[in-house]
Amino acid sequence: MKNMKKIVISLIAVTLILSCSISVFASVPYHSYNYSFEGTKSDSLAGYIPDKVVTGHDIGVSHFDNPRDIFVDTNKNIYIADTDNKRIIITDSNFNLIKILDTFTFNGAPYDMHMPMGVFVTAGGEMYIANRDVIEPETGSARPSGGEVVVCDLDGNVNRIYTKPETPYLDEKRTFQPTKVVVDSQGVIYALSDNINEGIVSMDQTGKFLGFFGSEKVSMTAAQLAEYYWRKWFLNDEQLSKLVSFQPTEYSNMYIDAKDFIYTSNAYEELSNNQIKRLNPNGANVLEEKKYGDLKETINADDEVVNQSFVDITADTDGFIFCLDKNVGRIYVYNQDSQLVMIFGDMGTKIGTFKNPVAIENINGNILVLDNEKENITVFKSSAYGDSLRNGIVKYQKGLYQEALEPWQQVRDMNANFEDAYTGIGKAEMLLASTTKDNEESKRLYNSSMKNFKLANDRTNYSVSKKEMRTITLRDYFTLIVVAIIALFILLKVYGVYKAKINNAFVGFFTKIFAKFKKEGK
């Protein structure tokens, strides 16, 4: 009976362990990976894991219908642009319903919020809505000039409306179809619009056109380049005038931080570089110009090779940038130095995967992804690995290398493939070595830092650490070297003064020795 009892208890324990393992595995239904210094893909723990999924019914409203945008204000309230339901849903940070804005008034008359595509709320509580299409009451059809940016309070009272700005750069044939809007601390309005690909339309509070912010450079693929020369060489001026010229590519989305830096994403699939930017108030990109997303071929859930296509972007207060790809459903996370640190997410039907992700936001350390086909919001929370990684990176970027040592060690223990962890550990050890008064401990730390820098392929810091190691070694033998040099100097001086006597003494000594051996030899 006792043996049977032990067997039953063991089976129960094994079952619990297996169920826990299955639960943990099921909670991360995607492959997390990263890239080495040499560009080799390597497996990684998930930095973020799905926590829950929120639908309209969970909030206490009817189901979402083609939702297009999600926004978090300074009070941590969440705003959802439920586009085809023609409403804005407002909740608190836990998705408890605050208000449904589905009725708007302007100058005492009802205002038709026909297609709310984007929403932004200022610190003062003014709501800016990108209303892509406006329906004329008289005709029931879309306004020829396009949509508008609507400014209202949180009760739906419209205060101002911004239509297509007057500028010679936008001719009569170009419509204003705003899909996203943000406002900086000075009240400058930035709007993305379909049909306008010169950059972000910027306006002041009076609606005056200020220019195209962050204008994109013209991007030409090999096919486009070939077509360009074909046009140039074989078509006459009349034929050329009838063809559409090459235009800059459009931004797909944008996000503005507390310092008025605007992050932009680009969904243009033929563009291989610079799909992610961080524009300073002057419109200059301060991120590294390179390929973002996968360094190798991008493979979707069906094992098909697809192009990278970023549909939205957000950043948190620690400077981490989250880029959402619509083709593969992955979120690529970068630090302030444009280094890729995490990848998570996928396409699919399970919790944590997407059908058509369209928007991303961050709140209280969590990541929110809006899927307009699943009609829900997935909430991702940072894992233990993600917490250590973020903590190490934040302290490292602040120059707090010693404080970063513990989280970097935790990252290394959990993911030996992450090379930056070795750099972080090496930096911390190098700093400790430079401050300790114990020579042996200092040498041990420098030796260890050199090993870590070697594992991280960090040749610059390896050289610095090696140079410091040489300095310590030289310092250890400095006294002995000085004494040896002084002794040699004295000997040379003595030899110079008594050169003749010393030479005669040596000659006499060896002469006697030679004579003695010669005599004994006879």
Closest to 36 (Cα-Cα) out of 417, 422, 389: 417
Site of tokens 């030996």: 416
The shares of helix, strand and coil residues in the chain, as percent rounded to the nearest 5, are 35, 30, 40
For residues 400 and 408, give the distance between their C-alpha atoms in angstroms, rounded to a whole number: 12
Of the CA atoms within 13 Å of residue 121, those in its CB half-sphere come to: 23
- 142 torsion bin: left (phi>0), alpha (psi -120 to 50), beta (else): beta
Residue 140, φ and ψ in degrees, nearest 5: 75, 10
Quick one: CA dihedral 141, 142, 143, 149, positive or negative? Answer: positive
pLDDT value of position 4: 53
Q: What is the pLDDT of residues 387-446, one digit of tens each?
A: 999 999 999 889 898 899 999 999 999 999 899 899 999 998 998 888 888 888 888 999
pTM of the complete model: 0.81
Q: What is the pLDDT of residues 15-64, one digit of tens each?
A: 433 333 333 334 689 999 999 888 888 999 999 999 999 999 999 999 99
CA distances from 192 to 85, 99, 228 (A): 22, 27, 28
For residues 255 and 276, give the distance between their C-alpha atoms in angstroms, rounded to a whole number: 11
Contact 49, 56 (CB under 8 A): no
For residues 210 and 282, give the distance between their C-alpha atoms in angstroms, rounded to a whole number: 12
Q: What is the pLDDT of residues 166-215, one digit of tens each?
A: 998 888 888 899 999 999 999 999 999 988 888 999 999 999 999 999 98
DSSP letter string, 55-97: EHHHHTSPPPSS--EEEE-TT--EEEEEGGGTEEEEE-TT--E
Q: What is the pLDDT of residues 365-401, one digit of tens each?
A: 999 999 999 999 999 999 999 999 999 999 988 989 8
CA distances from 511 to 80, 396, 469, 500, 504 (A): 108, 74, 51, 16, 10
Residue 342 CA, chain-centre distance (Å), reads 8
pLDDT value of position 319: 94
Cβ-Cβ contacts under 8 Å for 377 (sequence gap 6 or more): 53, 54, 55, 70, 80, 95, 368, 369, 370, 371
CA distances from 413 to 49, 384, 402 (A): 19, 12, 18
Least confident of 80-89, 162-171, 235-244, 301-310: 235-244
For residues 237 and 450, give the distance between their C-alpha atoms in angstroms, rounded to a whole number: 65
- Residues 248-272, mean pLDDT to the nearest whole number: 86
